[in-house]
Amino acid sequence: MGGADVASNTSHVVSSESYRSWDNIPSSRRRSSRDIGWSSLLLDLHSGVSSQEIYESIGTADLRIGITLSGKFACDHYNKSRWRINDYAPGSIMLHFTEEPTNYRFPKPDDQFQLALIYLPKGLVEACLDQMRRIGEQSKMPTFSSFVRRDLAIAALGKTLMDTMQGHGGELYASTTAAWMATHILSRYGSHPFQEDERSPGAITDARIERVLDYMSEHYADEITLDQLASEACVSKFHFTRLFKQKVGETPLRILSETRIKAAHTLLLSSESSVSQIARACGFTSTSHFTRAFSERYGATPTALRKASRK
């Protein structure tokens, strides 16, 4: 399977079982990326404990990553005929990659902690593993069962995802992050650590760069995914961001955002459309996210810049 085929695979979406999982977790307060429509990953934020009773997780084929964002707490899980106790602190991560449901319990109530659960589609993890596989080598999907480790990179990315979720970052951001997390976890904790592959990851020529930039210019009003951009460049999406930045000096996400902001700037000065209408017309899913990005670029809010230009 080539890089473009892998990137366009429709199995790279979160399973319905993962979406049902938060119903079983006894948290006091919840927030979720399901409200903004990401499909490349699912992020559920759980705060506080509402019960000390044993609960059973819902079995899912997706890779589940638990990230402790704040507070310290203990959580027991039942594995191999006995209860095992794990203590969590900020920066702790839990990896669970088995379709079997697991029993958990919180030994004492705690209203201070925040736990982010991130679900990565099984199809994405399998595609990532295949990209890392050496020629002639048989790949074997690793399994994790409440494997706990401190990983500051994953923890920091979890916090960034929370901030992006509040700002309604698009699917391109979600798919890029999901691909990086899958690669990082498989190479660092999987049974097949990353090795130099004899297969070429591909190269982006100037002509391909132009094609990607043209695609952004023509489709900036649409929802653009990392898969689509990698397909335009004819390289694997697992290498696309790195190769693109080597050529252009910025990530594709940054260039797309700049393209949208420049288009919005033109509309602000040349049309009577409202700020929210311009935000939507330029591919921003949130007016607040658009206003923040625009202000960082031009040093003024869209409304202020429009007023100043008409004096």
Do 61 and 99 contact (CB within 8 A), yes or no? yes
Residue 58 DSSP symbol = P
Sheet holding 82-88: strands in order across? 55-56, 103-105, 73-79, 82-88
User: Model confidence at 311, in pLDDT bands (50, 70, 90)?
Assistant: confident
pLDDT band at 1 (very low <50, low <70, confident <90, very high): very low
Q: What is the pLDDT of residue 11?
A: 57
Check: CB of residue 168 under 8 Å from CB of residue 219.
no
- Angle 227-238-162 from CA coordinates, rounded to 5°: 75
- The answer to whether 250 touches 242, Cβ cutoff 8 Å, is no
Kindly list the strands in the beta sheet with 42-49, ordered across the sheet, starting from the edge strand earlier in the chain: 27-32, 42-49, 114-120, 63-70, 92-96, 147-150
CA distance linking residue 262 with residue 294, whole number of Å:
9
Q: Over 80: is that where the pLDDT of 169 sits?
A: no
Q: What is the pLDDT at residue 192?
A: 46
Cα–Cα distances in angstroms (integers) from residue 275 to residues 36, 184, 279, 297, in the given order: 20, 39, 6, 16
Per-residue model confidence (pLDDT) at position 283:
93
Statement: residue 119 has pLDDT above 80: yes
Encode pLDDT of 185-194 as tens digits.
888 877 544 3
Give the percent of the chain with pLDDT over 70.
86
Longest Cα separation, the chain: 75
Most confident of 10-14, 80-84, 96-100, 300-304: 300-304
Phi-psi region of 202 (alpha: psi -120 to 50; beta: other; left: phi over 0): left
Round to whole Å and give the CA distance between 20 and 16. 6
pLDDT for 49 equals 81
Reported as a single tens digit per residue, the pLDDT across 284-295 is 989 999 999 999
**3-state class (DSSP) for residue 28:** strand
- Rounded to an integer, what is the distance from CA 36 to the centroid of its chain? 13
Tell me the residue type at 89. A
Residues 6+ apart with CB under 8 A from 289: 167, 168, 169
Q: Do strands 42-49 and 55-56 pair parallel, antiparallel, or not at all (unpaired)?
A: unpaired
Are 144 and 95 in contact by the 8 Å Cβ rule? The answer is yes
Q: Is the pLDDT reported for residue 299 higher than 90? A: yes
pLDDT band at 138 (very low <50, low <70, confident <90, very high): low
Q: Which residue do the tokens 């999982």 mark?
A: 21
Kindly state the average pLDDT of the residues 230-256.
89
Three-state DSSP at 56 gives strand
Mean pLDDT of 150-162: 88
Whether residue 248 is predicted with pLDDT greater than 80 in this model: the reply is yes
Considering only residues 194 and 171, tell me which one the structure prediction assigns the higher pLDDT.
171
- The stretch 75-79 carries a mean pLDDT of 77
